[in-house]
Chain A
Amino acid sequence: MTDQNPIEALKALEVLALTAIADAPDADALEDVRVSFLGRKEGRISLILRDLGSMSPEERPAVGQEANRVKGVVCVALEARDLDFAGPGAAGGLDLTLPARGVWQGGLHPITQAVDEIWGIFRDLGFTRARGPEADTEWYNFEALNTPLDHPAADEQDTLYLVDSVLLRSHTSPVQMRTMEKYQPPIRILAPGWVYRRDTYDATHTPAFMQIEGLVIDEGITFVDFKATLAEFARRYWGPGTQTRFRPSFFPFTEPSAEVDVKRVITRPDGSTEETDWLEIMGAGMVDPAVLENAGYDSERYTGFAFGMGPARIAKLKHGVDDLRTFFENDVRFLAQFGS
């Protein structure tokens, strides 16, 4: 072998070895290939490595490097081919049906996932996220939103108070006013957050829950933009065939006000489709001029729309969860069903 350039010899050995590995018919033959090339005593690559000591100092590094490279390539090929022969009963092979070494899975709460999905759609529609305090004042929670405290509309959200006029916000709508006070139009925000009500804890009510507020204000925003934006959201969230229905309603801080319903198209396993009933998903409307004036905006110049929805309710419908309390039990077996 010394009569040949050792680097050339190594390259030739590499080709020989790879061919022999590929041709080996079983694990025993493969072991023979291994011994003939990499065997400690007589292996043909091992021999070259052993000869390194006798080489000139100029030659040595290059040959050493090449020998290690070829050895590495051959080792990898051997291992890969070895797997071909492995299996239950394969002599000396691995039982690859054995379970893998696992890692713990974690994940986001299903309500967070709902909020994220909703937010993702509105982000694509040009919205940014805003926040406000959870403990707020009567002014921001009611009066600034055109809801006098002595009007029956203030009753509908049974409010939890802390001291005097400080309360736990009963909806995310106070973020409307807080945002308008800080920024000038155009406003295009989404405000997810916790809200609190004096509700009994049962299958359909929890005294604290997530709500998502939306607010758009600019010159020239009309009822048509309002309908179009929310219909677009519904189609992106529930699928292209989703229909949207706007029903007149009443919220003190919007006028005209609407409840928004959706009707989805469900595809059955056999490919046929079915329309669901109308499902109420949010309250919304054109921002009341009194609210704009309270924020110091010129209500003759600016118009806009606002909406609010409950991601827990949406998640409940989406995942078939019967009881809202399940979301707060936080049993890891429940949480694990929603992956990460």
Chain B
Amino acid sequence: MKTSYRWLKDMVPGLVLPPKALAEHLALRGAPVEEITSPAAGLGDLVVGRVVTAERHPNADRLSLCTVDGGAGVVSVVCGAPNVKAGSWFPFAPVGAVLPGDFKIKKAKIRGEVSEGMLCSSKELGLGTEHDGILELFGDFVPGQSFVEAMGLSDATLDVEITANRGDLLSHVGVARELASEGEGRVVLAEIPGAIDFSPTFHRGTPEISHGDVSIRIEDTDLCSRYLGVVIRGVKVGPSPEWLQERLRGAGSRPISNVVDATNYILLELGQPLHAFDLNKLGGTSIVVRRAGASPGTFATLDGEKRKVAPDMLMICDAEHPVALAGVMGGLDSEVTNDTVDVLIECALFNPKSIRATRRALAMSTDASYRFERGVDPESMELALQRAVALILATAGGVVDGPVLDCHAVEFTAQTVSLRLSRIERLLGVAFDAAQTTELLTPLGFTVLSEEAGVLSVRVPGFRSYDVTREVDLIEEVARTYGYDRFPSDLGPFRPGTVPDHPLFQLEDDLRRALAARGLYEAQTPAFVPEGEGEVRVSNPLATTEPFIRSALLPSLVRRLEYNLARGNRDVRLFELGTSFRAMGKGEPPLEEPHVAAVMTGRREPAHWSGPVQPLGLWDLKGLLEHAVRQTFKGRGVVAPAEGDVAPYLSGSAFVVLDPGGDPVGAGGLMSPGAVDAPVWAGDVLAFEFRLPPEPGPSPVVVHEPLPQYPAVERDLALLVSTTVAAQSVLDLIRSSSGDLLERVDLFDVYEGEGVSEGRRSIAFRLRFRAPERTLKDKEVDRTITAVLGRLKEELGVEHRG
């Protein structure tokens, strides 16, 4: 909320802190100041100028040729305003001055006459909307005196950040109360200059009250507990006096007209939203507070918008039609205008939830609705109305007609909350006695009614009735007023928790480090994707181009690869860990699965002068994928050649990932050219993505095997294998037919071409045999090899090449 420093100072006698220190102080009370600005920002070059002569411009009917005394001699100025006249004072921008909007005043020739400066309107200075003429100043001035000083614009505006629970701080009196709790402990309301003593009588009635031909009735008392209305007749609508305009500007509010400014002043002073109706535009001069009811249609609010009204919205109506959106905005048809003579001032208390629902449904927020939503003080309504009337009478004239009509449907009762001293200590770790506690709570408006056996009975003032309803709310007030920084900060002993460290975090840690160690960089991409890349739609997306949340990470990761390629990064290796969202039954939350994905392109290793470097290829991908799968499934997952298309983005050469249960959980391989938007110079792009177990089990315990004591025998076998037989099946058969002595077998060469007939290839394996308890004899190994070769020929048609 924008607050005027001067206004606060007037309310808190003895407040001496300068604006910056005040801001610091408020921050420590829970209301930090976002920025401090001056309403006169950018007006420093302006002076007060006196028009010495004003004559018609010789070459233009609508312009005047004036001479102006701006303190530094009399200069000639061409002016287009109709209200310029000799002997009057105006804000004057001499040559060289810079006005808001970085507008620099230069010496100019206008229609043949020299103009050395500018007389300004309030609009040009950002001080108001008046643009029919320049801003005439009334008072005793000296030509050339600072405009800011002369106008008393040297106020400071503090933009205070108010948390959602503290509706009571949305007013100067609220902020002042926080300051006064450490000052003289007293808040005073400024006297209204020129105010006529107004002591109204209140006519109470429920659910209807009337006086003369004016009546007020609350039909829906659940949404409006009280409605005060008073009639003032014979007002003269016009600009407010300067002191009032200045107050409003200091609080960041733009002056409009005396009647409207009066209601805004009270809103800013007491936080009580008021509304002024043009009484003669209310049908039957009556007010009815009710829900809009069936088929309500649209309603024109005073900002000129047509609002679509729903049946449950609370409306202020006259005898026939709605005249205001209750607590949100008045209607265009009953607006106070320059021709208004009689007004009805409303001061009402609306249900916060109802106001919130209405303004949300209409996607709007006003100063009034903002305060009603957060709770308006039910105990200061009379005061607010009284001050508003006094202000209108002082600034717009008129007479009060009749009593204040007080339609009081539901009485407000202040709450009493019990506060145990033992509980304060248990929560805050510091003991407070009854006297201390009372001292801390009283300046905030709380009343300690009694104390018995360590339990205080505390009355909550109306303006805190929304956020202080429980014991813990009062304990927070004790801590806040005492000062958070005064509590000790000693780290005591603690017990370990019962929650085990989630194993998926541990798997993610391991996987990240494994992939980074293999030369990949971790990427992070947001989950939002365009249509086609996700199964789950966001119902209120901000970017309509990305209304889905992703079911796979790869498309987002490929876009990051493309981004890198487009910036000339030729070697790109990225991985990501993230969540995949899968659509479940209608209305159900999506299924979330942890995924890992990687993309890479470029060279296998950095260039080196010793020789050429190969590009990354399918076998690099297979190796990386196997490594990731091993990490993930603790050596138990499988990477197998894919049969048929496993993923649309992969070319024919692809792999599937099978989890330990044999279920496919992902795929990898060479990306098909159409799947990546890459420059012509880019090489192959390789990628994989697979699902991680959501609750990974513990790693199996390693049971060590004694290292061999006896020598091994190695044999190389070059085999001629049909191209239709998979290397894996040859490998499997070698393993299964070699008996217990085979220690390991490695495929070390593949050859096709000259010397090998068409349709076949030569594959070479190295077999290592070893007996655990003795030295193997060559003959034993020869026998095994013969048997293996026999099986290979018989079952796979494999021949021994020698």
Contacts and interface: CB of A to CB of B under 8 A. Distances in A.
Say whether A and B bind each other.
yes
Nearest to B167: A152
A248 B581 CA distance: 38
Contact of B589 (A111, A129, A136): A136
A58 interface: no
Interface stretch (B208-216, B261-269, B511-519, B726-734): B511-519
Contact of B587 (A102, A164, A179, A331): A164
A340 B515 CA distance: 11
Contact of B592 (A135, A259, A329): A135
Contacts of B572: 332
Contacts, number: 266
Interface in B520-544: 520-528, 536-543
Nearest to A333: B569
B479 interface: yes
Interface in A168-202: 168, 179, 182-189, 194, 196, 198-201
Contacts of A210: 524
Nearest to B610: A101
Contact of B563 (A182, A185, A218, A330): A330
Contacts of B480: 248, 256
Given A103-B606, A303-B426, A332-B564, A199 B494 contact: no
A198 to B, nearest CB: 5
Contacts of A232: 491
Contacts of B488: 224, 227-228
Given A104-B573, A106-B516, A248-B30, A162 B537 contact: yes
A12 to B, nearest CB: 32
Contacts of B519: 103-106
Interface stretch (B36-44, B188-196, B495-503, B749-757): B495-503
A134 B579 contact: yes
A111 B577 CA distance: 13
Contact of B484 (A164, A216, A258): A258
A40 interface: no
Interface string B569-601: 101111000110100001111101000000000
B497 A109 contact: no
Interface in B336-394: 353, 356-357, 373-374
Given A105-B519, A106-B520, A247-B28, A188 B497 contact: yes
A106 B515 CA distance: 8
B429 A223 contact: yes
Interface string A118-152: 00000001111111011111000000000000111
B609 interface: yes
B605 A330 contact: no
Assign chain B's interface to a size class. 35 or more
A310 interface: no
Contacts of B674: none
A71 to B, nearest CB: 22
B710 interface: no
A330 B353 CA distance: 44
Contacts of A133: 589, 592
A64 interface: no
Nearest to A288: B472
A19 interface: no
A322 interface: no
Given A103-B606, A128-B499, A332-B564, A245 B473 contact: no
A85 interface: no
Interface in B418-447: 426-430
A246 B497 contact: no
B549 interface: yes
B618 to A, nearest CB: 18
Contacts of B180: none
Nearest to A329: B563
A238 interface: no
Contacts of B163: 249-250
B85 interface: no
A223 B495 contact: no
A231 interface: yes
B427 A328 contact: no
A247 B521 CA distance: 39
A246 B485 contact: yes
Nearest to A246: B484
Contact of B528 (A129, A208, A286, A340): A208
Interface stretch (A29-37, A43-51, A153-161): A153-161
Contacts of B590: 135, 162, 166
Nearest to B165: A250
B492 interface: yes
Contact of A225 (B492, B523, B564, B606): B492
Which of A106, A135, A137 lies at the interface centre, i.e. has the most chain B CB atoms within 10 A of its CB?
A106
A310 to B, nearest CB: 13
A7 interface: no
B521 A107 contact: yes
Contact of B523 (A186, A231, A250, A330): A330
Contact of B502 (A129, A152, A161, A164): A129
Contacts of A179: 499
A225 B587 contact: no
B164 interface: yes
A26 interface: no
B333 interface: no
B496 A151 contact: no
Contacts of A327: 524
Interface string B604-643: 0110111000000000000000000000000000000000
B220 to A, nearest CB: 17
Interface string A40-82: 0000000000000000000000000000000000000000000
Interface in B154-197: 163-166
A107 B573 CA distance: 10
Interface string A79-111: 000000000000000000011011111111101
A112 B522 contact: yes
Contacts of B373: 152
A211 interface: no
A222 interface: yes
A322 to B, nearest CB: 18
Contact of B521 (A200, A231, A335): A335
Nearest to A232: B491
A223 B558 CA distance: 48
A247 B32 contact: yes
Contacts of A166: 587-590
Contact of B500 (A104, A128, A224, A245): A128
A163 interface: yes
Nearest to B471: A289
A303 B427 contact: yes
Nearest to A98: B609
A257 interface: yes
A188 B496 contact: yes
Which of A216, A244, A247 lies at the interface centre, i.e. has the most chain B CB atoms within 10 A of its CB?
A247
B27 interface: yes
Contacts of B499: 128, 130, 179, 182-183, 187-189
B487 interface: yes
Nearest to A199: B542
Contacts of A168: 538, 549
Contacts of A333: 569
A256 B475 contact: yes
B471 to A, nearest CB: 9
Contact of A208 (B497, B520, B526): B526
Given A162-B539, A286-B427, 20 more contacts: A102-B605, A102-B608, A106-B522, A128-B501, A131-B505, A151-B164, A160-B541, A168-B549, A188-B494, A194-B578, A216-B494, A225-B429, A228-B488, A228-B489, A330-B525, A330-B563, A330-B574, A333-B569, A335-B522, A340-B516
Which are the 9 A-B pairs with shortest beta-carbon distances? A222-B429, A104-B519, A248-B30, A188-B497, A250-B163, A224-B429, A102-B606, A208-B526, A330-B523
9 contacts: A129-B502, A131-B502, A152-B373, A168-B538, A225-B494, A228-B488, A330-B574, A332-B573, A340-B517
